[in-house]
Amino acid sequence: MADHVQSLAQLEILCKQLYETTETGVRLQAEKALVEFTNSPDCLSKCQLLLERGSSSYSQLLAATCLSKLVSRTSNPLPLEQRIDIRNYVLNYLATRPKLAEFVTQALIQLYSRITKLGWFDCQKDDYVFRNVIADVTRFLQDSVEHCIIGVTILSQLTNEINQLNLCLCVQADTSHPLTKHRKIASSFRDSSLFDIFTLSCNLLKQVSILAFWVIFLAEPYFSDPTSCASTSAAVLVFQSLSDPNNYHEFCRLLARLKSNYQLGELVKVENYPEVIRLIANFTVTSLQHWEFAPNSVHYLLSLWQRLAASVPYVKATEPHLLETYTPEVTKAYITSRLESVCIILRDGLEDPLDDAGLVQQQLDQLSTIGRCEYEKTCALLVQLFDQSAQTYQELLQSTNSSTIDITVQEGRLTWLVYIIGAVIGGRVSFASTDEQDAMDGELVCRVLQLMNLTDSRLAQAGNERLELAMLSFFEQFRKIYIGDQVQKSSKVSTFTVTTHTLLCFRPETITNLKYWGQCEPITSKTLQLLNDLSIGYPLPSVRKLVKLSAVQFMLNNHTSEHFSFLGVNNQSNLSDMRCRTTFYTALGRLLMVDLGEDEDQFEQFMLPLTAAFEAVAQMFSTNTFNEQEAKRTLVGLVRDLRGIAFAFNAKTSFMMLFDWIYPAYMPILQRAIELWYHVPACTTPVLKLMAELVHNRSQRLQFDVSSPNGILLFRETSKMITTYGNRILTIGEVPKDQVYSVKLKGVSVCFSMLKAVLSGNYVNFGVFRLYGDDALDNALQTFIKLLLSIPHSDLLDYPKLSQSFYSLLEVLTQDHMNFIASLEPHVVMYILSSISEGLTALDTMVCTGCCSSLDHIVTYLFKQLSRSTKKRPAAMATDDRFLLIMQQHPEMIQQMLSTVLNIIIFEDCRNQWSMSRPLLGLILLNEKYFADLRNSIVNSQPPEKQQAMHLCFENLMEGIERNLLTKNRDRFTQNLSVFRREVNDSMKNSSYGVNSNDMMS
């Protein structure tokens, strides 16, 4: 016994050292000791000892965490009886100790959820012992407030746990398809428990209003302290339950049923609802005014008032809700508190929220709705505050005795005001706006423009980055609301701005920012994004007016580093800093196309800076020694520029000008760059992306004359680049896991996209390559196979961009180049089929759909070959025989995919049912006996009373289906499958179908 007590004391000391000490060495030693404890044989018994006798919350947390690891482990898993005991122990522990530390309660609930999920299909005496969720939780919901909170948290956490693909499930030894098992658990949970949880939650929502009302009035003194995190959490619970005024009548009826010991008396009267709103408003205002004590509560408070303000147009209750009275007070409190915070933050050296762009944007999104409620009051306040700050700011700038601190304070205040003005203008979309409100927007816009003129005049001496970012945020909101095809023509502001928006967005912000802020990446990138958005062309008359502006003409004629410093290759700290150049030239390309037409002279004039850059790189490559770093920077900047132009040129006339300019003159330079720097992804990736863009037949822009060989020549260049890069990148050897994507897989992914684009572009007749003995096509396809075999299956699905590029390419290959697939070695064919099998269960719908299409092409090819072999026709080609032989030697691959597809359609939330149906018919026709066995297995897994209905579903599935893959027959099967899935789901709603469904994956 003494040993246990001593061991417990030591564990508690270690826990305290782990979570509280500031000494790194002590914490590391404690962590090492606790890891050893977790792996010890007596860990389970010691965890129970910590929970029962531990005096520290940290020791309880350790016990809960260790138990979660024990129930999740795959080697030497805990017996079923032991896991049941742990589950029951945790529930009893929570029930008898409702006031544990919040993080301990959360860890124990997580443990319960994990046990429940992993044991969902475990039976004990024909009873699914881990599915009694409602019974487990009901006793909590019928007890005290603390117990109710625990019960609700259990339901919430369990639902989240079921919906997540856990690592422990991925590595479990009992299945080779963790995603499928996860989905089966989720589907079973959905059908057997989720509706009950939903019903229970709806009932709780009514009860929580009573609880919330009681908390508000009896705990008002507690709420009066906004510095308390607990008060904020409780307030959030209260506020969320009262966010819909229309529910107040129901609320009062429920409240009237309370027992007298709640001492609520007259509070059940409807007229007391305004008192609730008043109390909430006062608490919100007080919390906003004391922002420095509870900064994290601002999000929750604004979230509440956003809902309340958004509900105002839909309130049908006759009683006054008084939101029009209190919402402006909340708006005022937020705005004034942000302005007052500027001086305090600067004085005390606190963390400035303006540096957290995500936080600022989140709050502004919420305020945009709140501020439009009683907008005239919001506008009047903003006008008053803005005029005061702008006047003070101007006076400080004109005075020779002004301190830097005073100027910085006013710039901070103006930054907040510009952000807020942009937000409330953006909030116009949430309300039916009037001409008067549009006029108010105009008042605010004019003030921001005046401030912009003032700040622009100072840029040569000094500038404020935060204020410039606020200006850009304002202009982006203004563009969304008042510039574009969605703008109401009757809008007074929009009538003015459609003709003058270029004055707003181009002369001051775009040109000035790109000139003076070229070294500031946030400002440059946001400015270029604004320019890009405005150049898209909606409405077209606006863009035509835009192009005629002298500022835009200046950009089109002077896009060099001399005028725009971010284009300078010597000013970049690293090669990746040049990404914004693509956005810049995409916008310029669109603007150039407006009046370009067939004017080749104008195009040549525009391309002069890029021509000079290409010539400079060519000159460097022609010498034995050159400045490699300068060459890299020049080339990367150049190809990024060209990619932007190529993306913008989506018409045949303009794109052919670009094509004739770059080919054949400059293509060897790109090829040379790949040869030299294949191991430098910062160089090769931009080059490969440019090539992928050039071969992309977007909007049918790649249309060559009938006598032109350019389509074939372009493919030769593509094949050469893929082959050069692919063969060299395979020589770099082993790459660390954390670098494998950036060093290798990203470039490979772009090559796959490039090959897919050129194969599906419809401007090359690929039959001519074999006809004339040209190996360009074979080289490209063989390089693809080499690259593919160098990638593990797991990586194909772990990296989304690689997944999408590979499976889209595979879809094209199986559709148009099946003879090539059929000629591959058996291990390559098996690799491709395995990748399709894995992709069928991918969470990415695009990947899953691509796999279905690829599988359909393969199955159709096999079916046709088998059909031909049974007819009196010339013998099939040797390659065809080899492919058929592989399938006959490994029938399990096709059978496995038949099981997978059918499993997804029957047991999962199949979102691409049509795509799944296309290969399924061919799979069934190729494996009729296996399908019959599979059907019998599924039918027999159902309860006896449902087996006949399930059998009938399968009979109806094949009703009227012939043994062919003609379009008419496929369409009939797709229709049957839709009915089949609906009938099966209806049949199994109350059935424990998960018992033998694992057989489908065998």
pLDDT band at 783 (very low <50, low <70, confident <90, very high): very high
Residues in the chain: 1002
Reported as a single tens digit per residue, the pLDDT across 280-327 is 788 788 888 877 766 777 887 888 788 878 877 766 656 666 788 889
Q: Is the pLDDT of residue 226 over 50?
A: no
CB contact at 8 A, 854 and 810: yes
Contacts of 403 (CB under 8 A, 6+ apart): none
The mean-pLDDT minimum among 167-181, 254-268, 525-539, 651-665 falls in: 254-268
- Check residue 21 and give its pLDDT: 66
pTM of the full structure: 0.72
Residue 539's pLDDT band, with cuts at 50, 70 and 90, is low
Cβ atoms of 329 and 285 closer than 8 Å: yes
Determine the residue type at 284.
T
What are the tokens at 99? 């006031």
CB atoms within 10 A of CB 792: 10
What percent of the chain stands above pLDDT 70? Answer: 78
Whose structure tokens read 């372009």?
714
d(C-alpha 184, C-alpha 168), whole Å:
16
The CA angle 449-453-457, to the nearest 5 degrees, is 165
pLDDT for the residue numbered 283 = 78
Greater model confidence, 130 or 388: 388
342 or 877: whose pLDDT is higher?
A: 342
**CA geometry: angle 6, 11, 17, nearest 5 deg:** 130
Task: Give the CA diameter of the chain.
Answer: 103
Name, in order, each residue with C-beta under 8 angstroms of 570's C-beta and a sequence gap of 6 or more.
630, 633
Residue 658 contacts residue 641 (beta carbons within 8 Å): no
Q: What is the pLDDT of residue 670?
A: 95
Please write down the long-range contacts of 784-791, taking CB distance under 8 Å and 24 or more positions apart: 784/722, 784/726, 784/751, 784/752, 784/755, 784/809, 785/824, 785/828, 786/726, 786/727, 786/730, 787/726, 787/729, 787/730, 787/748, 787/751, 787/752, 788/831, 788/832, 789/828, 789/831, 790/730, 791/745, 791/748
3-class secondary-structure state, position 123: strand
- Rounded Cα distance, 722 and 783, in Å: 7
Per-residue model confidence (pLDDT) at position 727: 94
- CA dihedral 693→697→703→709, nearest 10 degrees, is 60
CB 852 within 8 A of CB 919: yes
What CA–CA distance (Å, rounded) separates 507 from 490? 26
pLDDT at position 504 is: 47
- Kindly report, residue by residue over 157-208, the tens digit of the pLDDT: 888 888 776 544 443 434 445 566 777 788 788 778 887 877 777 677 655 5
Measured torsion, CA atoms of residues 720, 722, 724, 726, in degrees rounded to the nearest 10: -160
Examine the pLDDT at 880 and tell me if it is beyond 60.
Answer: no
User: Residue 187: what residue type?
Assistant: S
Q: Is the pLDDT of residue 47 over 90?
A: no
Query: Closest Cα partner for 91 from 57, 138, 123, 53?
Result: 138
Among 565-569, 919-923, 989-993, top mean pLDDT goes to 919-923
SS3 for 19-49, per residue?
HHCCCHHHHHHHHHHHHHHHCCCCHHHHHHH
CA separation, residue 989 to residues 131, 182, 984 (Å): 16, 19, 9
Would you say the C-alpha torsion 721, 844, 807, 887 has a positive or negative sign? positive
pLDDT at position 372: 87
Using pLDDT thresholds of 50, 70 and 90, give the confidence band for residue 270: very low
Q: Please determine, for residue 988, whether its predicted confidence score (pLDDT) is greater than 80.
A: no
Average pLDDT value for residue range 105-116: 87
Angle between helices 404-426 and 435-456 in degrees, nearest 10: 150
Task: Summarize the confidence of residues 234-256 as an average pLDDT.
Answer: 43
Say how far apart CA 246 and CA 601 lie, in whole Å. 67
pLDDT of residue 432 exceeding 90: no
Indicate the pLDDT class of residue 857, thresholds 50, 70 and 90.
very high
The pLDDT, as a whole number, for residue 730 is 93
Closest to 938 in 3D by CA, of 885, 984, 877, 894: 984
d(CA 246, CA 321): 9
In terms of Cα–Cα distance, which of 403, 426, 441 is closest to 476?
Answer: 426
Mean pLDDT of 561-588: 77
pLDDT at position 228: 41
> What is the pLDDT at residue 496?
44
Alpha carbons 154 and 515: distance in angstroms, whole number: 57
pLDDT grade for 266, boundaries at 50, 70 and 90? very low
pLDDT at 253 over 50: no
Q: What would the two tokens of residue 962 be?
A: 């012939």
Residue 657 confidence class, pLDDT cut points 50, 70, 90: very high
Q: Which residue has the tokens 């190729």?
A: 926
3-state SS of 607-674 is CHHHHHHHHHHHHHHCCCCCCHHHHHHHHHHHHHHHHHHHHHCCCHHHHHHHHHHHCCCCHHHHHHHH
Q: What is the pLDDT of residues 479-523, one digit of tens each?
A: 888 775 445 444 554 444 444 444 444 444 566 677 777 677 788
Q: Does pLDDT of 897 surpass 50?
A: yes
Is residue 878 predicted with pLDDT exceeding 80? no
Calpha distance 88→48 (Å, rounded): 13
For residue 751, pLDDT over 90 is answered with yes
Q: What is the dihedral of CA 677, 679, 681, 685, to 10 degrees?
A: 60
Mean pLDDT of the chain: 79
Best-predicted range by mean pLDDT among 132-146, 453-467, 612-626? Answer: 612-626
Which two three-digit tokens encode residue 506? Answer: 């181009």
**Beta bridge mates, 123:** 128
789 exposed, middle or buried (CB, 10 Å; 0-12, 13-18, 19+)?
Answer: middle
Cβ within 8 Å of residue 229, ≥6 positions away:
294, 297
Distance CA 226, CA 232 (A): 7
Per-residue CA distances from 402 to 385, 395, 417, 455 (Å):
21, 9, 22, 17
Pick the range with the lowest mean pLDDT from 64-68, 378-382, 405-409, 687-691.
64-68
Calpha distance 269→260 (Å, rounded): 15
Q: Cα–Cα–Cα angle for 988, 991, 996, nearest 5°?
A: 95
- Return the pLDDT at 761: 92
- Given a cut of 80, is residue 905 above it in pLDDT? yes
- Residue 379 is predicted with a pLDDT of 92
